[in-house]
Amino acid sequence: MDEQKLRKKLKIMVMTVILLSLGLVCTSYALASSIVKIRSNRFTMSMGVELELNDGKSVIDMSDVVFEPGGTYVSEFPISNLSEFDVWYRISFTNVSGELKDYVTVKVTEEDGTVLCNGLISKLSADKVMVSSLAAGEEKNLKIEFYFSKDAGDIHQGKTVAFNIKADATQKQNNNDKDFGD
């Protein structure tokens, strides 16, 4: 009789191990499936964000302009969101060099008067400018004004300033912090 009880207990233990193993496999599969199905990507791939400044032409052409102390140069140009989704965008200045970098003030405004950046060109890096939005397919006109400080004096005659204008964007959806990832 003890042998029968032992066999019965053995069968129960084997069945218990099989059921627990089956439960573990099912639970693991369910967990893995739920993780795969939940998408929490914050951004669309960066290749999907596409801005265009001034139809691909130079934003500034100062080749015929005499820029003297106290002088202002103004240019207008469009920025277009060619993406299929709304974006946050910003305009900044990179690779600023030259003797005049601390004497030229720049101001970039949207057509409604919103100021995107305003200050010495040497200080307008991406972390020091305002972020604005563009809807999918939207185009805005921007105005850029350069002012050469009248305090610079004639000692700066023939001196230069060089820079790149940078426009970058990031997806607006699920990005309330306006995070550009830099």
71 φ, ψ to 5°? -90, 155
Which of 50, 177, 157 minimizes the C-alpha distance to 99? 157
Low-confidence ranges of the chain (pLDDT < 50): 36-47
pTM of the shown model: 0.68
Residues paired with 170 in a beta bridge: 88
| Residue range 125-159, pLDDT digits in tens | 777 788 999 999 999 999 999 998 888 777 878 88
Q: What is the pLDDT of residues 83-99, one digit of tens each?
A: 888 999 988 888 989 88
> 172: buried, middle or exposed (CB in 10 Å: 19+, 13-18, 0-12)?
buried
